[in-house]
Structure 1
Amino acid sequence: MKKLSGLLFVGCIALTGCEGSTDGDLTPTPPTPDPTPPALAADVCYLMKTTKGDITLAIDLTNMPITGKNFKQYVDKSFYNGTLFHRTVNNFMIQGGGFTTGLKSKPGDAPIKNEAAVGISNKRGTISMARTTVPDSATSQFFINVLDNPDLDASASEFGYAVFGKVVDGMDVADQISIVPTKSSGGFANTPVQEILINSVATTSCPAA
């Protein structure tokens, strides 16, 4: 039940509620996932400095052009600087990119198309887009999987969550973030007791293949 609960909350871009989360939102038929998903490309890499340590991310612009470009555009305008990892669930994922200190919402740009049907799996260390129950609703928020989470993948009956990159260094930092003490209050769940800040996200060299 813990995993199912986590899945439902990842589906909420804002933890205080899910806009448009009615059964009617899921009436479209999910696209069939690619039966032979490609390996993630490392087209551009970013160094994410947090108050818990550094995480290096490789972003796939080749196989995930919409999602990868979306993340890149947020980084290019320094959107993530000063945002929080506002939700952490042990043995599941860590979520960030939508709130500033004091859990103040930071509105993102227009929602993007869900590319989860490309077929890249939510494995440990991958980074994916958070969204509401509306399939094409992701904006700025993302999450890093700390375990393999195949339940979040696209299928014949589920739209899934789009993987667009992976951690190439600093997974130990992500693991530490996932186990910090959390609290629930004011409609927010699994929020770190002590805020975990993303100080900056900047371009860095990708590791040699």
Structure 2
Amino acid sequence: MRNVLSFLTLASMAAPEATSGEDRPRVQVVTSVGEFTIELYPDRAPISVENFLRYVDEEFYHNTTFHRIIRDFVVQGGGYNTDKTRKETHEPIRNEADNGLKNERGTVAMARLKEADSATSQFFVNVVDNHSLDHSESDFGYTVFGRVVEGMEIVDRISGVPTVKHGPHRDQPRVTIVLKRALRV
């Protein structure tokens, strides 16, 4: 009996207790092609969720674009105005990709540069399972901090938009996909 109790105690310590769906913040993303809702995981990625909600509350994402679309990979936004100029951001945050969450279809993660702790405002939605983006011994990975819980068909629609190369940037949508607003719901 003691071994069973010890195991249960260790098991409960090993995995952080998840908050219920009712306790998880949600953000509605309104785009030029429809709306989708993201549920956030502050229990697993507190820094990333706080950072994302800061930008949401500041209305930073209003009238930005989904500037990088790679069919069967990701839809990325949150960094450029509709005139393709880069937005000023807050300081980068610490990478939390070692939180146990995986870059699976429908999950939302922080975009970053090559440096692990370089994420600011940009985020992406995984259109497929992208395990190569997960935390591993050889790569720190990309922090998953939420999941699309309503409107994944809108993300799929965005994912299917034809893209072009524009200047140094590849995978830009031929037609501008506007992130009109992101609001807590």
TM-score interval, normalised by the smaller of the two chains: 0.7 to 0.9
Q: 2:150 aligns with which of 163, 169, 172?
A: 169
With over 3 angstroms needed to count, the CA separation of the structure-2 counterparts of 1:87 and 1:37, relative to structure 1, is farther
Query: Letter of the aligned partner of 2:109 in structure 1?
Result: S
The question of whether the paired residues in 1 share the 8 Å contact of 2:16 and 2:43 is answered with: no
For residues 64 and 103 of structure 2, what CA distance do their matches in structure 1 show? Answer: 23
For residues 40 and 83 of structure 1, what CA distance do their matches in structure 2 show? Answer: 31
Query: Letter of the aligned partner of 2:113 in structure 1?
Result: T
Q: 1:195 aligns with which of 160, 176, 182?
A: 176
For residues 203 and 78 of structure 1, what CA distance do their matches in structure 2 show? Answer: 11
For residues 158 and 88 of structure 1, what CA distance do their matches in structure 2 show? Answer: 23
| TM-score when normalising by structure 1 | 0.78
For residues 51 and 19 of structure 2, what CA distance do their matches in structure 1 show? Answer: 16
Larger Rg: 2
Matched length: 170
Q: Does 1:153 align with 2:125?
A: no
Q: 1:143 aligns with which of 124, 127, 132?
A: 124
Query: Letter of the aligned partner of 2:151 in structure 1?
Result: G
The CA RMSD measured in Å over matched residues stands at 1.5
For residues 134 and 149 of structure 1, what CA distance do their matches in structure 2 show? Answer: 19
* Deviation at residue 119 of structure 1 after TM alignment: 1.6
Q: 1:47 aligns with which of 28, 33, 48?
A: 28
Q: 1:91 aligns with which of 61, 64, 72?
A: 72
Q: What residue in structure 1 maps to residue 160 of structure 2? A: 179
Q: What residue in structure 1 maps to residue 55 of structure 2? A: 74
* Deviation at residue 188 of structure 1 after TM alignment: 1.2
For residues 112 and 167 of structure 1, what CA distance do their matches in structure 2 show? Answer: 22
The question of whether the paired residues in 2 share the 8 Å contact of 1:50 and 1:198 is answered with: yes
The question of whether the paired residues in 2 share the 8 Å contact of 1:41 and 1:59 is answered with: no
With over 3 angstroms needed to count, the CA separation of the structure-2 counterparts of 1:161 and 1:39, relative to structure 1, is farther
Does the residue aligned with 1:128 lie in a helix, a strand or coil? strand
Query: Letter of the aligned partner of 1:50 in structure 2?
Result: T
Q: What residue in structure 1 maps to residue 38 of structure 2? A: 57
With over 3 angstroms needed to count, the CA separation of the structure-2 counterparts of 1:166 and 1:38, relative to structure 1, is farther
Unaligned runs of 5+ in 1: 1-34, 205-209
Unaligned runs of 5+ in 2: 1-13
| TM-score when normalising by structure 2 | 0.88
* Deviation at residue 141 of structure 1 after TM alignment: 0.2
